[in-house]
């Protein structure tokens, strides 16, 4: 299973890389990385590049409806990668969105890579903004930059990075370009060497007033909650799942990474 | 974590919510879009938009209110036509090869001193069942799946959903059901799993319960065979394959119509509710990558489905051999059971043999046709037929088939209960005995009802 990353067609930025793809065989890991993104962005291709697995990739929404897991080691550290279902938002209650949302909320990955399609960046940003409300440790993989260039779409990734407040790495996942930098940056975000300042949604006055009223109350009961603002937004929207979690006191942040095991993917319909 | 304070908080939220507009979600979504647009405009420059324009032009044709549906039917028809024309020859070749091997293996077992019942059960039963399934299923799948995957990779399937979602919404179901229905053409079990993309549990259950009404790949061979024998025979040879493909498209259309009607009925009776709205994103068209298509369609799909079929067909082949060889009072079990089922079969325009074949084939619908042929021929194994003219002679002259039998068998194949894998998948997805039971029994009841009325109607009028 030992594969050297340089075997892939990749630019020399990656030559020094020593990536070992572990496939599905990860028993112990140092860090957990979640992979999120819209459907059709090449998310599963990034996953395959990282882990060496062959997830089926296809051009239509709803292909990945369950989460897939794999792993790799890099620089002596082992990373577990969780490929979440591709979704357009985290607001609705379909099972695929719930799987993605629950993992980001309760699974508490050490970092989240959001894969976006550079050719249709605007609608992809909707999901990025929602994820930034949930977690700070985010790296954006600006994928399909070659296709965007061909289409005459010029994305200034530095400016985008500044606006979003998180690193943005241009990638061409199909050819392995930028994957090395993506891993390195993600590792730095996890280690705290890169401090992110995630963009906060600007909302209209009415919503802001309601949030101002609610957030302090949430923070009083759950002082360690890292995403009180998002939780408040969900509660105001009448999100039953979040409300139930609150009632049962499901949030247990002291457990750290082991909270992963508590993630229950609700598959029951009814 | 204190639950009491949690409950206080909930009360607080209800209080704040009551002072808010009801369309809070819409406001939030609108704000998210606005923020995204701002950030986008700040960092993206569009120099020229040729590809995007091409996409839009394509979409204007492929999702046009006038041309969208006809083009869809044409693409579907072409896919069947390519499958029918392309699969014919290799099917025959594989059948010949595998049945030659059967004879050789039987000979070897005989020489090794194996008793004839053991040779019969293993070689003429289990092995022959496998051989039939491989030769009937492998060529159509190896053609159908790559063609289907090209459409999928190109990005056409979301357009199908786009063209049809208004129909589903009118039926009180979710527009995305058009997508899960499309998946059902490949495999109903896959279609049932795909319903996870539907948010509302009510609409998801409608999509699950009705997925069976589009024919899956396992049922296409039955439909294609009947179309080839009865429909194509009425046309000159040059048009025969076109007519056959056309009639399969027609059956598919009936399936879609039934899907809509049943969805409509469900959403007005046991699954009442309004259709929820959704935004369906049309992904950009992409040039299909040939290597990936071959990998996906041949390894992931063809071999996967074939393996499942083989796994199911082995025991069924054994059962068929036993039914045809175990005798009670000088009559084979197959003969006895089909005689018992005959009156019921007659009422719905079929016969006892067809019903028996369906019972044996519950694990894998794809072996229905060989089973029917075997019991008809009174041979001790499944009949080896290599020419379609022979097949027609057997069915029309020996078994007394009429056009009604063929039409009703097509209808029955379209509507009857889902295969065991699909039923198991319905259970896994819903975790409810009730929905699983309804998912299995409702299509069966509908199949009997429809074929009953068609039979009575035809007998009265003609």
My answer on whether A137 and A217 are in the same domain is no
Read off the pLDDT of residues B321-368 as tens digits, 9 standing for 90 and up: 888 888 888 888 888 898 899 999 999 999 888 898 888 877 666 667
Evaluate whether residue B3 is within a structural domain: no
My answer on whether A93 and A217 are in the same domain is no
Q: What pLDDT is recorded for position B274? A: 67
Torsions phi, psi of B351, nearest 5? -145, 175
Nearest to B194 among A65, A199, A238 (CB): A65
Which H or E element spans position A69?
strand A68-74
Confidence of residue B374 (pLDDT cuts 50, 70, 90): low
- Asked if B36 and A130 come within 8 Å (Cβ–Cβ), the reply is no
Q: Is the pLDDT of residue A221 over 60?
A: yes
What's the whole-number mean pLDDT along residues A206-229?
Answer: 86
Nearest C-alpha of chain A: how many angstroms from B107?
44
Nearest C-alpha of chain A: how many angstroms from B47?
5
- Asked if A247 and B205 come within 8 Å (Cβ–Cβ), the reply is no
Please give the residue range of the domain that contains residue A54.
5-191
Evaluate whether residue A196 is within a structural domain: no
Nearest to A270 among B10, B295, B430 (CB): B430
Torsions phi, psi of A119, nearest 5? -80, -20
pTM of the model: 0.64
CATH number of the CATH domain containing A106: 3.40.50.300
Residue of A61, A225, A247 to mutate for B, most B C-beta atoms under 10 A: A61
Nearest C-alpha of chain B: how many angstroms from A255?
13
Q: What pLDDT is recorded for position A15? A: 42
Evaluate whether residue B357 is within a structural domain: yes
- Quick one: what percent of chain A has pLDDT higher than 70? 78
My answer on whether A108 and A182 are in the same domain is yes
Q: Is the pLDDT of residue A253 over 50?
A: no
C-beta of residue A7 within 8 angstroms of C-beta of residue A18: no
Q: How far is CA A133 from the centre of its chain?
A: 12
Neighbours of B216 (CB within 10 A): 24
Q: What pLDDT is recorded for position B55? A: 79
My answer on whether A167 and A233 are in the same domain is no
My answer on whether A17 and A54 are in the same domain is yes
My answer on whether B237 and B293 are in the same domain is yes
CA distance B449 to A149: 58
Tell me, what's the ipTM?
A: 0.82
Residue A119: both structure tokens together? 């050719």
Residue A179's nearest CA partner among A143, A131, A136, A127 is: A143
Domain count, chain B: 2
My answer on whether B240 and B120 are in the same domain is yes
Q: Is the pLDDT of residue B308 over 80?
A: no
Which residue, of A191, A213, A242, is where some domain finishes? Answer: A191
Q: Is the pLDDT of residue A256 over 50?
A: no
Nearest C-alpha of chain B: how many angstroms from A72?
23
My answer on whether B204 and B300 are in the same domain is yes
Nearest C-alpha of chain B: how many angstroms from A49?
15
Q: What pLDDT is recorded for position A261? A: 38
Evaluate whether residue B1 is within a structural domain: no
Evaluate whether residue A215 is within a structural domain: yes
Read off the pLDDT of residues B385-404 as tens digits, 9 standing for 90 and up: 545 556 677 777 777 788 78
Residue A267: both structure tokens together? 């598959």
Q: Is the pLDDT of residue B438 over 90?
A: yes
C-beta of residue A44 within 8 angstroms of C-beta of residue A64: yes
Evaluate whether residue A69 is within a structural domain: yes
Q: What pLDDT is recorded for position B279? A: 61
Read off the pLDDT of residues B38-86 as tens digits, 9 standing for 90 and up: 999 999 988 765 666 777 788 888 888 888 889 988 988 888 788 778 8
Q: What pLDDT is recorded for position B51? A: 60
Confidence of residue B244 (pLDDT cuts 50, 70, 90): confident
Please give the residue range of the domain that contains residue B26.
14-62
Nearest to A62 among B40, B42, B197 (CB): B197
Q: What pLDDT is recorded for position B62? A: 87
Evaluate whether residue B5 is within a structural domain: no
3-state secondary structure of A21: strand
What's the whole-number mean pLDDT along residues B413-435?
Answer: 87
Residue A23's nearest CA partner among A58, A48, A4, A56 is: A48
| Chain B residues whose beta carbon lies within 8 Å of the beta carbon of residue A241 | none
Q: What pLDDT is recorded for position B99? A: 81
Q: Per residue in A15-50, is it b (16+ CB within 10 Å) or e — as a string?
A: eebebebbeeebeebebbbbbbbbbbbbbbbbbbbb
Determine which of A16-30, A83-97, A153-167 has the lowest per-residue pLDDT on average.
A16-30
- Asked if A210 and B20 come within 8 Å (Cβ–Cβ), the reply is yes
Domain count, chain A: 2
User: A128: nearest CA in chain B?
Assistant: B36
Which residue, of A191, A215, A246, is where some domain finishes? Answer: A191
My answer on whether B445 and B380 are in the same domain is yes
My answer on whether B281 and B238 are in the same domain is yes
CA dihedral A70, A72, A78, A82 (to 10 degrees): -30
Read off the pLDDT of residues B153-172 as tens digits, 9 standing for 90 and up: 788 877 887 888 888 888 88
User: A222: nearest CA in chain B?
Assistant: B1
- Asked if A235 and B13 come within 8 Å (Cβ–Cβ), the reply is yes
Residue A121's nearest CA partner among A99, A147, A96, A92 is: A147
Evaluate whether residue A200 is within a structural domain: no
Contacts of A1 (CB under 8 A, 6+ apart): A21, A22, A23, A25, A52
Rounded mean pLDDT of chain B?
A: 81
My answer on whether A91 and A181 are in the same domain is yes
CA distance B90 to B361: 24
- Asked if B39 and A156 come within 8 Å (Cβ–Cβ), the reply is no
Confidence of residue A66 (pLDDT cuts 50, 70, 90): low
My answer on whether B135 and B31 are in the same domain is no
My answer on whether A32 and A78 are in the same domain is yes
Q: What pLDDT is recorded for position A268? A: 29
My answer on whether B32 and B176 are in the same domain is no
Torsions phi, psi of B364, nearest 5? -150, 105
User: B182: nearest CA in chain A?
Assistant: A60
- Asked if A151 and B45 come within 8 Å (Cβ–Cβ), the reply is no
My answer on whether B373 and B396 are in the same domain is yes
| Per-residue 3-state assignment (H helix, E strand, C coil) for A200-241 | CCCCCHHHHHHHHHHHHHHHHHCCCCCCHHHHHHHHHCCCHH
- Asked if B40 and A214 come within 8 Å (Cβ–Cβ), the reply is no
My answer on whether A156 and A228 are in the same domain is no
Chain pair A-B, CB pairs under 8 angstroms:
207
Rounded mean pLDDT of chain A?
A: 79
Nearest C-alpha of chain B: how many angstroms from A1?
20
3-state secondary structure of A83: strand
- Asked if A59 and B429 come within 8 Å (Cβ–Cβ), the reply is no
Read off the pLDDT of residues A79-131 as tens digits, 9 standing for 90 and up: 999 888 888 888 876 777 877 888 888 888 999 999 999 988 988 999 999 99
Evaluate whether residue A269 is within a structural domain: no
| Chain B residues whose beta carbon lies within 8 Å of the beta carbon of residue A65 | 193-194, 196-197
- The dihedral region occupied by B381, where left means phi > 0, alpha psi between -120 and 50, and beta the remainder, is beta
Nearest C-alpha of chain B: how many angstroms from A75?
31
Q: What pLDDT is recorded for position A3? A: 35
Evaluate whether residue A268 is within a structural domain: no
What's the whole-number mean pLDDT along residues A152-176?
Answer: 94
Pick the residue with more confidence: B178 or A265? B178
My answer on whether A36 and A126 are in the same domain is yes
Evaluate whether residue B7 is within a structural domain: no
Pick the residue with more confidence: A187 or B128? A187
My answer on whether A173 and A223 are in the same domain is no
Evaluate whether residue A267 is within a structural domain: no
My answer on whether B391 and B366 are in the same domain is yes
Residue of B30, B43, B46, B203 to mutate for A, most A C-beta atoms under 10 A: B43
My answer on whether B297 and B327 are in the same domain is yes
- Asked if B198 and A249 come within 8 Å (Cβ–Cβ), the reply is no
My answer on whether B55 and B185 are in the same domain is no
Q: What pLDDT is recorded for position A168? A: 97
Q: Is the pLDDT of residue A57 over 60?
A: no
Q: Is the pLDDT of residue B434 over 90?
A: yes
- Asked if B27 and A204 come within 8 Å (Cβ–Cβ), the reply is yes
Confidence of residue B108 (pLDDT cuts 50, 70, 90): very high
Q: Is the pLDDT of residue A8 over 50?
A: no
Pick the residue with more confidence: B183 or A173? A173
User: A224: nearest CA in chain B?
Assistant: B1
What's the whole-number mean pLDDT along residues A181-202?
Answer: 94
Q: What pLDDT is recorded for position B385? A: 52
Q: Is the pLDDT of residue B428 over 60?
A: yes
User: B301: nearest CA in chain A?
Assistant: A56
- Asked if A249 and B1 come within 8 Å (Cβ–Cβ), the reply is yes
My answer on whether A180 and A246 are in the same domain is no
Q: Is the pLDDT of residue A4 over 50?
A: no
Which residue, of A166, A191, A216, is where some domain finishes? Answer: A191
- Asked if A95 and B196 come within 8 Å (Cβ–Cβ), the reply is yes
| Chain A residues whose beta carbon lies within 8 Å of the beta carbon of residue B34 | 202
Which H or E element spans position B45?
strand B44-46
My answer on whether B440 and B385 are in the same domain is yes
- Asked if B281 and A130 come within 8 Å (Cβ–Cβ), the reply is no
What CA–CA distances, in Å, run from B154 to B146, B157, B285, B359, B392? Answer: 12, 8, 5, 39, 40
Confidence of residue B4 (pLDDT cuts 50, 70, 90): low
Nearest to B46 among A153, A160, A164 (CB): A153
My answer on whether A90 and A212 are in the same domain is no
CA distance B30 to B24: 10
Nearest C-alpha of chain B: how many angstroms from A139?
16
Evaluate whether residue A199 is within a structural domain: no
Nearest C-alpha of chain B: how many angstroms from A184?
24
């Amino acid at each position: 299973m030992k594969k050297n990353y340089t075997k892939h067609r990749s630019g020399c930025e990656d030559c020094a890389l020593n990536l070992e793809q572990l496939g599905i065989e990860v028993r112990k890991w140092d860090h957990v990385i979640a992979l999120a993104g819209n459907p059709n962005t090449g998310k599963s291709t990034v996953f395959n590049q990282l882990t060496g697995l062959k997830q089926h990739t296809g051009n239509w929404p709803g292909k990945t409806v369950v989460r897939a897991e794999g792993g790799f080691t890099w620089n002596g550290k082992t990373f577990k990668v969780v490929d979440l279902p591709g979704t357009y938002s985290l607001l609705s209650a379909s099972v695929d969105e719930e799987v993605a949302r629950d993992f980001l909320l309760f699974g508490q990955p050490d970092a989240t890579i959001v894969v976006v399609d550079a050719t249709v960046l605007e609608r992809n940003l909707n999901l990025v903004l929602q994820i930034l409300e949930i977690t700070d440790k985010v790296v954006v993989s600006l994928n399909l930059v070659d296709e965007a260039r061909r289409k005459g779409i010029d994305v200034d990734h530095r400016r985008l990075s500044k606006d979003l407040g998180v690193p943005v790495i241009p990638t061409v996942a199909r050819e392995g370009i930028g994957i090395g930098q993506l891993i390195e940056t993600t590792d730095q975000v996890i280690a705290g060497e890169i401090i992110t300042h995630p963009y906060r949604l600007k909302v209209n006055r009415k919503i802001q007033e309601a949030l101002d009223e609610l957030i302090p109350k949430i923070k009083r009961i759950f002082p360690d909650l890292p995403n009180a603002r998002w939780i408040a937004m969900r509660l105001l929207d009448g999100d039953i799942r979040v409300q139930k979690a609150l009632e049962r006191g499901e949030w247990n942040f002291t457990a750290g990474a082991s909270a992963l095991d508590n993630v229950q993917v609700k598959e029951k319909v009814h | 974590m204190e639950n009491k304070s949690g409950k206080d908080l909930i009360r607080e939220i209800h209080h704040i919510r009551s002072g808010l507009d009801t369309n809070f979600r819409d406001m939030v979504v609108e704000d998210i879009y606005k923020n995204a647009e701002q950030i986008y405009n700040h960092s993206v420059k569009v120099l020229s938009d040729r590809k995007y324009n091409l996409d839009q032009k394509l979409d204007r044709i492929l999702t046009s209110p006038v041309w969208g549906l006809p083009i869809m039917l044409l693409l579907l028809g072409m896919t069947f036509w390519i499958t029918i024309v392309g699969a014919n020859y290799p099917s025959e070749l594989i059948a010949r090869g595998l049945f030659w091997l059967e004879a050789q293996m039987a000979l070897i077992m005989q020489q090794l001193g194996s008793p004839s019942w053991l040779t019969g059960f293993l070689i003429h039963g289990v092995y022959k069942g496998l051989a039939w399934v491989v030769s009937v299923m492998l060529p159509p799948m190896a053609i159908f799946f790559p063609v289907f995957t090209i459409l999928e990779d190109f990005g056409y399937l979301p357009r199908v959903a786009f063209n049809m979602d208004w129909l589903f919404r009118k039926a009180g179901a979710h527009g995305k059901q058009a997508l899960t229905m499309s998946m059902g053409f490949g495999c109903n079990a896959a279609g049932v799993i795909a319903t996870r993309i539907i948010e509302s549990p009510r609409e998801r259950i409608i999509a699950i319960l009705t997925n069976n009404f589009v024919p899956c790949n396992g049922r296409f061979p039955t439909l294609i065979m009947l179309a080839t024998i009865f429909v194509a025979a009425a046309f000159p040879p040059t048009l025969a394959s076109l007519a056959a493909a056309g009639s399969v498209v027609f059956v598919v259309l009936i399936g879609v119509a039934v899907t809509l009607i049943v969805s409509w009925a469900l959403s007005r009776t046991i699954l009442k509710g309004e259709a929820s709205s959704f935004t369906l994103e049309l992904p950009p068209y992409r040039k299909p990558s040939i290597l990936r298509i071959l990998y996906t369609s041949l390894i992931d799909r063809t071999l996967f489905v074939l393996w499942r079929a083989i796994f199911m067909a082995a025991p069924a082949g054994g059962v068929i051999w036993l039914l045809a060889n175990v005798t009670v009072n000088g009559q084979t079990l197959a003969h006895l059971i089909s005689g018992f089922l005959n009156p019921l079969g007659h009422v719905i325009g079929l016969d006892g043999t067809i019903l028996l074949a369906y019972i044996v084939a519950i694990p894998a619908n794809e072996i229905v046709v060989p089973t029917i042929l075997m019991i008809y021929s009174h041979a001790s194994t499944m009949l080896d037929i290599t020419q379609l003219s022979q097949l027609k002679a057997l069915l029309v002259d020996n078994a007394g088939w009429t056009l009604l039998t063929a039409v009703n068998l097509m209808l029955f194949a379209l509507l009857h209960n889902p295969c065991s894998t699909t039923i198991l998948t319905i259970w896994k997805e819903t975790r409810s005995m009730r929905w699983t039971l309804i998912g299995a029994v409702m299509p069966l009841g509908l199949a009997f009802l429809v074929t009953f009325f068609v039979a009575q109607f035809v007998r009265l009028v003609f």
